[in-house]
Amino acid sequence: MVRAVDHAYTLIRDGILTGRHEPGERLGEAELAELTETSRTPVREALRQLEMEGLVEVLPHRGARVTAWTAADLEEIYDLRAMLEAFAAERAAGRIEPKDLDRMTEVCDLMDEAAGPGATQDLDRVTELNAEFHGLVRAAAASTRLVTMLNAVVQLPLVVRTFHRYSAADLARSCAHHRELVAALRAGDGLWAQSVMRSHVLAAKAVLLRAAADETETR
């Protein structure tokens, strides 16, 4: 048995992440209540939650809209994320358990497999594994507040389906970063881990910004 709030939250969130609700689209409470087969009360709470995470904007007496990101937002968010993830990596270096490190190595192998060129390539699986990898780092950082903040800035990359914009070289570099991070964590070197993680996120930012620039150019 799940709470209606969680049900509504998950449904609306997925609707935004999969692009079913476009940026700027208006989200009426009554409409969402019907969609989620609940009432407006849990929908309201779910929208508040999503507002905190930055996925929707709600204006008093005017309802909620799906957040529309600008290129400047994107840059700002990735800079924030770089800092937060680097901090998490540093903390993780002093706390992570060997079994988590082993699992991270496994995830790296699976990612190489799913990211490799050819018919077996599965970018959605890569996204999933990537989320697990970074989740392990955050969990090892052991800071509930940090995790909350990261959740707020990590949603966006999902919206824009990051990995579908990666070139083969970008993907290879990303996987290499992951392996290097595991090495840094295994060595217990906080500075190294922090540094690799920062590179990792900033590289992702560069890919995204270039992709965004290309899009507006060809338009």
> Which listed residue (76, 97, 124, 214) binds its own copies by CB under 8 A?
76
Q: Which of 17, 58, 142, 152 binds DNA (CB under 7 A)?
A: 58
Residue 51 contacts DNA per CB under 7 A: no
> Mapping DSSP to helix (H, G, I), strand (E, B) and coil, where does residue 66 land?
strand
Supply 5's token pair: 């709030």
C-alpha distances (whole Å) from 192 to each of 18, 87, 175, 187, 198 are 35, 11, 17, 9, 10
56 binds DNA (CB under 7 A): no
Instruction: Determine contact, residues 66/23, Cβ cutoff 8 Å.
Output: yes
- Of 4, 25, 29, 48, the one binding its own copies (CB under 8 A) is 48
77 binds, among DNA, its own copies, none (CB under 5 to 8 A by kind): its own copies
Q: Is residue 62 a contact residue for DNA (CB under 7 A)?
A: yes
Query: Cβ of residue 7: shortest distance to DNA, in angstroms?
Result: 7
In the list 30, 52, 191, 213, the residue contacting its own copies (rule: CB under 8 A) is: 52
Strand stretches in the chain, DSSP E: 26-27, 56-59, 63-66
Least distance (Å) between residue 190 CB and its own copies: 12
Q: Give residue for tokens 């890919």.
A: 207
Q: Which of 113, 132, 133, 136 is nearest to 123 (CA)?
A: 113
C-alpha torsion 52→13→138→174, nearest 10: -120
Binding range to its own copies, per CB under 8 A, among 17-25, 27-35, 99-107, 138-146: 138-146
Find how far residue 206's CA is from the centre of its chain. 16
Nearer to its own copies, 41 or 120 (CB): 41
Confirm or reject binding of residue 49 to DNA (CB under 7 A).
Answer: no
Q: Where along the sequence are the contacts to DNA (CB under 7 A)?
A: 1, 3-5, 27-30, 38-42, 44-45, 58, 60-64
